[in-house]
Structure 1
Amino acid sequence: METKPYLSLVVPIFNEEQNLPLLYEKLRALTQYEWEAIMVNDGSRDGSLGVLRGLAHGDRRVKIIDLRKNYGQTAAMAAGFDHAHGEIVIPIDADLQNDPADIPLLLAKLNDGFDVVSGWRKGRWQDRKMTRRLPSAAANWLISKTTGVVLHDYGCTLKAYRQEILKDVKLYGEMHRFIPAFAAWQGARVAEVVVGDHPRKFGKTNYNFSRTLRVMLDLITVKFIIGYATKPMHFFGRIAFASFIMSGISFLLAFYFKFVLHASFISTPLPLLTALFLILGVEFLLMGLVAEMQTRNYFETSGKRIYNIKETMNL
């Protein structure tokens, strides 16, 4: 019977054939901890899976999850989280931009009484152009303000989570970067520590502008979930109430035109606005009721996984 590891290192992989042996050597240097490395092959088209099989044959601490296609980083992380056995779960990039040598820094902060510790690549943008630094700073500021969890570097994959924190976190879209916000919503204590950032040695980055757009759209979803997931009627009800007020104001103005000024209001937009806001109010009220029923159904039924596994090894 295998000993339960202290650390579960979750590594999403997409076309990282040349980086994997180097990453494994760095993981082997973590001799002070019992660990497992859950390598999630996210539909790689190069020889990544072959390299992983070779590593797994030689070391049972290396565990493979081979997904049927490229689902994206969030789904790959979700697969790794679902199969992690360690007390502490640490996602880390396969491209060596995150250094496993920084893991003790995260663990030391966890031992100070925190549940989530996020890496902060403090010097990442010092030598980059302003056109790249400003969007990153703006995005982190916006996410911090929207979620209420202030972090300097939401995009850093290197984080440490206590296992129990991840049990109730459901991931989809590009939601993996918002886990600290979801965890804080559930009462977790969140902190961050400065970690290193290293240039990619092999391969090319999988980041592009479309991912930035998806992140911004997911941020809207996160804001709604954190604020109204268990009470959607509070959200839709406010909009419905505002619509009813606008409808009432339009009606009173029409009444004023007709009976005080003795002027025709037919040529004004007031009748249309009265009817429009009334209809909108009813629609948002009904949407709130439907959302309430869907929320109840969500909490009473098990959710479908966002990934499909082709094969595993050493799990």
Structure 2
Amino acid sequence: MDISVVVPLYNEAESLPELTDWIRRVMVAHNFSYEIILVDDGSKDTSWSVILDLKQQHEQISGIKFRRNYGKSAALNVGFAAAQGEVVITMDADLQDSPDEIPELYDRVMNQGADLVSGWKQKRYDPITKTIPTKLFNAVTRAMSGINNLHDFNCGLKAYKKDVVKSIEVYGEMHRYIPVIAKWAGFSNIQEQVVQHYPRKYGTTKFGAGRFVKGFLDLMSIFFVGKFGKRPMHFFGPIGVISFLIGFFITIYLISEKLMSIASGSVYRNVTDQPLFYLSLLAIMIGTQLFLTGFIAELLSRNSSERNKYQIERVV
């Protein structure tokens, strides 16, 4: 099979017939073998009934229904597990992503060697309350991930080599950072394609302001797990040792100062009367705790069932 189109959705009953017809026209025009996987993320409208009707009409359409709303990341993860195509395309169900982009996305993955191609909605039809925070998060993500050639990490329209979606796990709010997850998994050929963005035709947006806070926390999780997941002591250890040494040397300085004052017969303050003493104790305690945290995390990592699970590209 050439292409799997994975569409996560929540309360999008009105747009599904138009979207699936649009996808089918593109696939037929380019002679692609394909499947459309519609993942209903616990919709409260008639989305599932629409999916059942569409499946009866077209054998290429399949549906997955969650018992409740888990979020877009969960829907994508389940869709990735079900996908059989050599190239996996994801798009939103609100008709703001254009299926006409699929042939070029497919070509860049299948024939030009890209592991992942992320869409860039250069001209957006979103309110300013959404576009400004999105630009900020994209800038932070570029800085932290080192993927400097992407302008829009969160664009729903993406194309993946099959190996990518079968090698990564998406959860929480991490669908925004799939390019980062793919990079940490060893897929380095990550490209961008300018795509058309259409105004929303039906319904309203399903994302509130709270998604930015969750998204930032997930970015921190990706950064830490991706870089230090198999060697947590390399993160906690140096910080703990530095903090401990700062506190230790401050304590030595304070004690030396008192001893020198006693030896010279000059007036001196007790070590415990000085604010620096308590700062040094705090630094020693924090350093010890960080070091022990790294030590315990290292023990857990070494006893994990996935401690020796690595991404293998090829065996000959």
TM over 0.5: yes
* Pairing of 1:187-206 with structure 2 (within 5 A): 187-188=186-187, 189-206=189-206
On the 8 A contact 1:11/1:94 being kept in 2, the answer is: yes
Counterpart in the other structure of 1:143: 141
TM superposition score normalised by structure 1 = 0.89
Q: Deviations over 1:198-250 (max 9, x none)?
A: 01111110011001111011111111122212211111112211211211222
Question: Of 14, 18, 21, which aligns to 2:17?
Answer: 21
Q: Residue 36 of structure 2: SS of its match in structure 1?
A: strand
Counterpart in the other structure of 2:34: 35
Task: Give the distance between the partners of 2:46 and 2:60, measured in 1 at CA.
Answer: 20
TM-fit CA distance, 1:266:
2.0
TM-fit CA distance, 1:190:
0.3
Task: Give the distance between the partners of 1:300 and 1:223, measured in 2 at CA.
Answer: 18
Q: Deviations over 1:113-153 (max 9, x none)?
A: 2111100001116x854x65432222111111111112100
On the 8 A contact 2:90/2:159 being kept in 1, the answer is: yes
Task: Give the distance between the partners of 2:132 and 2:79, measured in 1 at CA.
Answer: 32
Task: Give the distance between the partners of 2:288 and 2:107, measured in 1 at CA.
Answer: 53
Do residues 272 (structure 1) and 278 (structure 2) align?
A: yes
Q: Deviations over 1:279-312 (max 9, x none)?
A: 222211121122223334151599xxxxxxxxxx
Task: Give the distance between the partners of 1:279 and 1:112, measured in 2 at CA.
Answer: 54
On the 8 A contact 2:154/2:175 being kept in 1, the answer is: no
On the 8 A contact 1:253/1:270 being kept in 2, the answer is: no
* Pairing of 1:32-181 with structure 2 (within 5 A): 32=30, 33-110=32-109, 111-124=111-124, 129=128, 132-150=130-148, 151-181=150-180
Counterpart in the other structure of 1:208: 208
On the 8 A contact 1:147/1:226 being kept in 2, the answer is: no
Q: Deviations over 1:151-182 (max 9, x none)?
A: 10011011111111122212211111211112
- Most deviating of 206-215 and 178-187: 178-187
1:139 maps to amino acid: F
Task: Give the distance between the partners of 2:130 and 2:185, measured in 1 at CA.
Answer: 33
Task: Give the distance between the partners of 1:138 and 1:170, measured in 2 at CA.
Answer: 25
Question: Of 291, 296, 311, which aligns to 1:290?
Answer: 296
On the 8 A contact 1:12/1:94 being kept in 2, the answer is: yes
**Number of residue-to-residue matches in the alignment:** 296
Q: Residue 266 of structure 1: SS of its match in structure 2?
A: helix
Task: Give the distance between the partners of 2:108 and 2:291, measured in 1 at CA.
Answer: 46
Q: How has the CA–CA distance of structure 1 residues 298 and 268 changed in structure 2, closer, same or farther, with 3 Å as cutoff?
A: farther
Question: Of 8, 12, 25, which aligns to 1:12?
Answer: 8
On the 8 A contact 1:109/1:193 being kept in 2, the answer is: no
By relative contact order (CA 8 Å, sep 6+), the higher-ranking structure is 1
TM-fit CA distance, 1:48:
0.3
Counterpart in the other structure of 1:230: 230
Extract unaligned runs of 5+ from structure 1: 303-315
Q: Residue 183 of structure 2: SS of its match in structure 1?
A: helix
On the 8 A contact 1:147/1:222 being kept in 2, the answer is: no
TM-fit CA distance, 1:88:
1.0
Taking every aligned residue pair, what percent have the same amino acid on both sides? Answer: 37
Q: How has the CA–CA distance of structure 1 residues 248 and 300 changed in structure 2, closer, same or farther, with 3 Å as cutoff?
A: closer
Extract unaligned runs of 5+ from structure 2: 263-267, 310-316
Task: Give the distance between the partners of 1:242 and 1:14, measured in 2 at CA.
Answer: 49
Task: Give the distance between the partners of 2:38 and 2:157, measured in 1 at CA.
Answer: 15
Q: Residue 156 of structure 2: SS of its match in structure 1?
A: coil
TM-fit CA distance, 1:112:
1.6
Counterpart in the other structure of 1:299: 306
Bigger radius of gyration: 2
Q: Deviations over 1:13-64 (max 9, x none)?
A: 1000000000011111121211111111110000000000000111121111
Task: Give the distance between the partners of 2:166 and 2:298, measured in 1 at CA.
Answer: 23
Q: Deviations over 1:252-295 (max 9, x none)?
A: 22123212344222211233233322222221112112222333
Q: How has the CA–CA distance of structure 1 residues 72 and 301 changed in structure 2, closer, same or farther, with 3 Å as cutoff?
A: farther
RMSD: 1.8
Q: How has the CA–CA distance of structure 1 residues 291 and 45 changed in structure 2, closer, same or farther, with 3 Å as cutoff?
A: same
2:288 maps to amino acid: V
